[in-house]
Chains A and B, each alone.
Chain A
Amino acid sequence: MRLFRQFIWRHLAQEKLRSCATVLGIALGVAVVLAIQMTNASSVRGFEKAIETVAGKTSLEIVGAGAGFDELLIKDLGWLRTYGQVSPVIEGDAEITLADKRSESLRVLGVDILRDRSLRDYQLRANAETQTASARQFLQLLSDARSVILTEKFTRKHKLNIGQTVELTFADKAEPYTVRGVLKDEGPARTMDGNFALLDLASAQWAFHRLGRIDRLDVRLKDAAQLAAAERAIAERLPAGLRVQRPARRGSQVEKMLAAFHFNLTALSYIALLVGLFLIYNTVSISVITRRAEIGTLRALGATRGTVLALFLAEALALAVIGCSLGLLFGRVLSFGAVKLTATTVNALYIAAAAEPPPLAWQHVWIAFGLGLPLSLLAAAVPALEAARVAPTAAMRGSDHLISRFRLRARYVVLPLCLLAAAWWFARQPAVNGLPAFGYASALAIVFGAAFLVPAVLFALGRLGDKPLFRLFKIEGRLANANLAGAIPRISISVAALAVSLSMMTAIAVMIGSFRETVVYWVNQTLVADLYLRPATRHNVATDAVFSPEVERIVSAHPAVAAADRFRNFDIAYGGGLVTLGTGEFAKQEAHGHLLFKAPTGAEAGKAAIRSCIGQDAVIVSESFALKYATQVGDVISLTTPQGDRTFRIAAVYYDYSSDRGIIVMDRGTFTKYFGEPQATSLTVYLRPGADADAVREDLLRQFGSNYRVLIYTNASIRQEVLRIFDSTFAITYALEVIAIFVAILGVATTLLTLILERKREIAVLRLVGADRRQVRKMVVIEAGLMGAVSQSVGAGVGLLLSLVLIYVINVQSFGWTIQFRVPWGFLAQSSLLILLATALSGLYPARRASQLQTAEEVVEE
């Protein structure tokens, strides 16, 4: 310990800049991993927490096959009471308009309060007059259909009082409601951080346009210990079209749905950590290089090889402990940004989730240190072993000054080729549990293949670069090239680390660029309707908000409207996860729509397939559904309907980039036959020739008046909206990459510093034979730029390969989308210039250090 303090700690304190750069590198690496873990947790956890708090003491729930089920079925389920208390529930989202005209989302629970009190703890804040809050009071409060109970937290925040009127929007309709009571912040009142409202069951059915239907029956078992047995027994007795599940199941379905999205983010976050670890390697290497004589002295004085090894591992450990601790803090800060960046995607494409990361917990400390420390030690092992091998005599004499020249051996080419072959094999393997594990193995093999290829590329540059660099930069160019060629073993790792980051950047840019082009093409081809309508509270496909019949009537009756395709969708359980079941009017789709079909190919064949579905038990499915569940045209899938399990033939597979969850669409007639008359969740409107879309939009909004809240997109604005969501989805990707590249450039700077310390004598000689400070600076900056150039060339080449894996393997297996491969040349050119500039700039400090070296001492005093 004492030796550590004297030999390592003081040295780290002296080398403040290098120590800080390393700590920063590790901290950022750990922070990015943590931030992504927290972000992923926040979306799933937020959803699960909402389920838990709303669920209360509910042990089991009975759910229907479609969007809820007919309340008449309840009377046939009287036997359920032998298992415990039963309560029918309506659950949904509404918007409350506040005094300042801003609106907030509320999770709304509609229950039969007398029955439900045994399932959930509702504590009313004591009324000022009666000082009590009883069931009787609840009843009184809810006897008026326009009554609502809000939470203490919400009313306090927005200064609302009992008796005050608030405006609530359910689906498309805004109505005034009176606040009749305030729930204490306990039980369900903690849902969505207090953004919770309680309604009477009948009021909720009316408000959500679900008259005669309930979403589910919550069951509190008499004997909670008999959960599994009761679940089995109830499942056996339930009629067709109903099933029993535990509340947590909804959470796990959501988790499964988000798994691919989260998996991809996690994989990306590890790149920053990888690059951070490289900095540890670099720093310990620098210590070993610059302190050979001291190590020799230690060895001569009796330190064993083990002691030397332990000392340098301890150096890595010290840096890693500080880095990981800082990483915890940075991670927390970054997670807020990451949640913000991913919230749009999660909310628009998957679920409504609370956009706040979870607080720091022991599990995060464990992730930070459990990952950071062992990996740091591993990274430091190579230079620490090198230190342990230093012979006392060799180090003392300084006779190991002369480096042996790098020789290109067969393994530098054979190993990368083997890895590329492995990558090819991995890329051809199927997904594992819906996750592209082999896809990532393939990407990893490519990345390592590229990393191992770096020495060979640097060797080639050393051989071929002299003449062009001499012509371009005179003698400084030649010297820089020669210096790099002489330091291949030292610089390979930093160049490889930067190349790996850049290759990911390139791959992602190519993937996103290609994806965007594909989506633009798809949008242009398929979004041909003139107007798109949805209820104002329907923020994502999972929100079950339907139009009022009056809205549908106004739209259909408008003289400029040629056709209005009423579309309805909701989530159904399929294959252990959730998919979207949709229904539209196929005759209108055939006449006006322009879906792009994957199978059968060709617009006419597609239209024929749509026609063939009308009046038949047939469906069309999205490409992601077909890929996820390995189905194709002609296959038969089984769906649970309120009338029991029914089979449907797949008539066509169409391209869809709006959601990766998988969509099954059937004609309205077929749907009505099995699920009942659907209410529309969106309307696609085709106008008569010559009608002005903007004018019709204004006219419709005027007719809806202030009571109905409907969002109407024109064709141009819906296209913009699609691309806005698309771009926001990938914002986080770029953010992660920028951090990784920043850390990698930090690595280049510290590597150059190492090289300079290692070459002190050579630089001094250079100064002696006539190089002025400016020439030395120029030489080092060229070296930095060359390292950047090699990294970017390798990165761009490998990035293109990686993008193929991303597009054709990982994306297909994760999301099930076909993307047309396109290379964004403009982006590549820009990023290449930027990287060259950034790396050259990173060489400025090392260059300054180099030019300030004292010449005489280094050379003459041997």
Chain B
Amino acid sequence: MIILSVEDVRKTYVGGETPVEAVRGVSLSLAAGDFVALMGPSGCGKSSLLHLCGAMDRPTAGRLRIETADLAQLNDDQLTKLRRERIGFVFQFFNLLPTLTVRENITLPVLLAGGDVTAAERRAGELAERVGLTHRLRHYPQQLSGGEMQRAAMARAIIHEPALLIADEPTGNLDSENGARVLNLLGELNRELQLTILLATHGAETAAAAQRIIRMRDGKIASVETTSAIEEPTPRAFV
């Protein structure tokens, strides 16, 4: 089943005097259970593509679908609904809300969607156990280590059982031990829950955790590689 479908997508920013074409006709497709890494130097358009795939932004041209939803057809509220129901996010700086406890942070997406508190808290407990944070549920983010914060962010990202997980440099702010642990966790989630993951990174080691690596340059896809992390043949990326 296709989770993310990008067809000849372009994104032009017209903030300044000269328009900047950040994404220039990119096409790719991710099926359920895919784990794809986006690589490329700064300014190659990787972040812009990530925004688009995470339904944070709309393309200037081309077609972008998440499951059956065509992003170009959605208004702001519908995009929000899509994010809150079908997409999870993990960031380099964790982006946990400092004023909420770990448990409250994890349950946030469910409660924002109007979900049941008891069920959300039970689920948060299960996820915390899975990411090794049961003893930290009542703590605030500032009381956690970087690795713990990222694991909490991962639990938050999947509590609502999204179809697509967007991970932006998830190990960029972690030491190697914690980075490896986070990558393992991502791998596990991908395999066990058939979670589709789109991960942007600078690091080749991080990218190696994915099944495919898409390299970008000047707003376009420069190459697609398959890595040893592939367990079953599911490549459907096309350039």
Q: Which residues of A contact B (CB under 8 A)?
A: 401-405, 470, 474-475, 478-479, 482-483, 485-487, 761-762, 765-773, 775, 855-856, 859-862
Contacts and interface: CB of A to CB of B under 8 A. Distances in A.
Given A769-B112, A859-B91, 10 more contacts: A483-B99, A486-B98, A762-B98, A770-B83, A770-B85, A770-B108, A770-B109, A859-B89, A860-B50, A860-B51
Interface in B70-127: 76-77, 80-81, 83-85, 89, 91-93, 95, 97-100, 104, 108-109, 111-114, 117
Contact of A768 (B56, B76, B92, B111): B56
B99 A860 contact: no
B202 to A, nearest CB: 12
B141 interface: yes
Contacts, number: 93
Given A766-B97, A773-B76, A861 B47 contact: yes
B56 A482 contact: no
A401 to B, nearest CB: 8
B110 to A, nearest CB: 9
B142 interface: yes
A775 B95 CA distance: 19
Q: Which of B84, B98, B141 has the most CB of A within 10 A?
A: B98
B57 interface: yes
Contacts of B34: none
Interface in B28-85: 47, 50-51, 54, 56-57, 76-77, 80-81, 83-85
Contact of A855 (B56, B100, B160): B56
29 contacts: A402-B142, A405-B142, A475-B111, A475-B112, A478-B100, A479-B97, A483-B99, A485-B99, A486-B98, A487-B99, A762-B98, A766-B97, A766-B112, A767-B80, A768-B83, A770-B80, A770-B83, A770-B84, A770-B113, A772-B76, A773-B76, A855-B56, A856-B51, A859-B91, A859-B95, A860-B47, A860-B50, A860-B56, A860-B168
A772 B80 contact: yes
Contacts of A766: 97, 108, 112
A856 B95 CA distance: 13
Contacts of A860: 47, 50-51, 56, 91, 168
Contacts of B112: 475, 766, 769-771, 775
Nearest to A470: B117
Contact of B97 (A470, A487, A765, A861): A765
A765 B51 contact: no
Nearest to A767: B80
Interface in B124-161: 140-142, 156, 160
Contact of B114 (A470, A474, A769, A861): A474
B104 A405 contact: no
A769 B47 CA distance: 18
Contacts of A855: 56
Contact of B89 (A470, A769, A773, A862): A769
Contacts of B93: 401, 862
Contact of B156 (A483, A769, A771, A862): A769
A404 B140 CA distance: 10
A856 B104 contact: no
Contacts of B54: 768, 856
B109 A769 contact: yes
Interface residues of B, number: 36
B51 A475 contact: no
Contacts of A482: 97, 99-100, 104
Contacts of B160: 770
A487 B97 CA distance: 12
A400 to B, nearest CB: 12
Contact of A405 (B76, B81, B114, B140): B140
A120 B89 CA distance: 91
Contact of A475 (B83, B92, B108, B156): B108
Contacts of B98: 402-403, 405, 486, 762
A405 B93 CA distance: 18
Contacts of B111: 474-475, 478
B104 A478 contact: yes
B141 A402 contact: yes
B52 to A, nearest CB: 9
A768 B84 CA distance: 7
A761 to B, nearest CB: 7
A770 to B, nearest CB: 2
B59 to A, nearest CB: 13
Name the residue among A474, A765, A775, A861 with the largest chain B CB count within 10 angstroms: A765
Nearest to B105: A769
B174 to A, nearest CB: 14
A862 B169 CA distance: 11
A856 B57 contact: yes
B95 A765 contact: yes
B111 to A, nearest CB: 4
The 8 closest A-B pairs by CB, nearest first: A770-B84, A486-B99, A482-B99, A475-B111, A856-B56, A772-B80, A856-B51, A770-B112
B109 A862 contact: no
A772 B104 CA distance: 18
A382 B83 CA distance: 42
Contacts of A405: 98, 140, 142
A766 B156 CA distance: 12
For B98, B99, B141, which residue has the most chain A Cβ atoms within 10 angstroms?
Answer: B99
B48 to A, nearest CB: 9
Contacts of B95: 761-762, 765, 768, 859
Nearest to A771: B112
B83 A769 contact: yes
Nearest to B99: A486
A168 B56 CA distance: 84
Nearest to B156: A769
A455 to B, nearest CB: 16
A403 B92 CA distance: 18
Nearest to A483: B99
A626 to B, nearest CB: 59
A862 to B, nearest CB: 6
A448 to B, nearest CB: 28
A483 B89 CA distance: 22
A242 B142 CA distance: 83
A492 to B, nearest CB: 15
A45 B83 CA distance: 71
A772 B77 CA distance: 6
A486 B160 CA distance: 26
Given A860-B47, A862-B93, A769 B99 contact: no
Nearest to A764: B95
A474 B117 CA distance: 10
B142 A404 contact: yes
Contacts of A403: 98, 142
A762 B97 contact: yes
A405 B51 CA distance: 31
B9 to A, nearest CB: 15
Contacts of A485: 99
B57 to A, nearest CB: 5
Contacts of B114: 474
A761 B97 CA distance: 9
Contacts of A767: 80
B109 A772 contact: no
A563 to B, nearest CB: 76
Nearest to B169: A862
A26 to B, nearest CB: 32
A769 B108 contact: yes
Nearest to A403: B98
* Residue among B81, B85, B111, B168 facing the most chain A CB atoms (10 A cut-off): B111
B92 A773 contact: no
A405 B100 CA distance: 11
A204 to B, nearest CB: 79
Contacts of A862: 91-93
Nearest to A775: B112
A861 B91 CA distance: 10
Contacts of B140: 405
Contact of B77 (A486, A762, A773): A773
